[in-house]
Amino acid sequence: RAVVLAFNKWDLLDDERRFYLEREIERDLGHVAWAPRVNISAKTGRHAEKLVPAMEAALEGWDTRIPTGRLNAFLGELVAANPHPVRGGKQPRILFGTQAQSRPPKFVLFTTGFLDPGYRRFIIRRLRETFGFKGTPIEVSMRIREKRRGR
């Protein structure tokens, strides 16, 4: 689901407690670090106007569909600028990718070998930055092409 984290009663915090609470939120909610945060005060109405635009942006990202040609151009530029590290004497290559579904966005990458989890996180982060998937979980799966046998 599309997610926006709204923290209420933000007006009751002093600067020191706010600092520690920010760190606690980053630590405990690290698995949804991609979700936009809105610190509000329902009593005073502080930053309440930011909540609806954040929810609209999250829902827009939830529905976003990227054409295969545009996705492959993006992946080509990404891999050219930052290639996957060589592991075991082989460097896995991304042959092409496609968006299998939206709601939530799911991408399938066809590769010549296994992509490291760190490199997959890098791809997800760049997808989020480039195509605006704010507040939306992104799933990237791989299909590894087996070696072709000589005929």
Phi then psi for 141, rounded to 5 degrees?
A: -115, 165
Please tell me the predicted confidence (pLDDT) of residue 109: 93
Q: 39 near 10, Cβ under 8 Å?
A: yes
> What is the reported pTM?
0.80
Please tell me the predicted confidence (pLDDT) of residue 124: 92
Average pLDDT, rounded, for the chain? 87
Give the tens place of pLDDT for each residue, 88-108. Answer: 778 888 889 999 988 889 999
Tokens of 49: 């106007």
Q: 139 near 108, Cβ under 8 Å?
A: no
Give the tens place of pLDDT for each residue, 58-88. Answer: 888 888 899 999 999 999 999 999 888 887 7
Query: Nearest-CA neighbor of 119 among 144, 83, 95, 148?
Result: 83
Question: What percent of the chain is predicted at pLDDT more than 90?
Answer: 31
> 3-class SS at 21?
helix
Q: 99 near 107, Cβ under 8 Å?
A: yes
CA separation for the pair 81, 86 (Å, rounded): 15
Category of 36 on φ-ψ map: left (φ > 0), alpha (ψ -120 to 50) or beta? beta
Kind and range of the H or E run holding 142:
strand 139-144
Please tell me the predicted confidence (pLDDT) of residue 43: 84
Phi then psi for 6, rounded to 5 degrees?
A: -110, 125
Domains and CATH numbers, the chain: 5-63 (no CATH), 68-144 (3.30.300.20)
| Tokens 């046998």, residue located | 149
Give the tens place of pLDDT for each residue, 113-142. Answer: 888 899 999 999 999 889 888 888 999 999
Please tell me the predicted confidence (pLDDT) of residue 146: 74
Mean pLDDT on 8-29: 87
Give the tens place of pLDDT for each residue, 106-121. Answer: 999 999 888 889 999 9
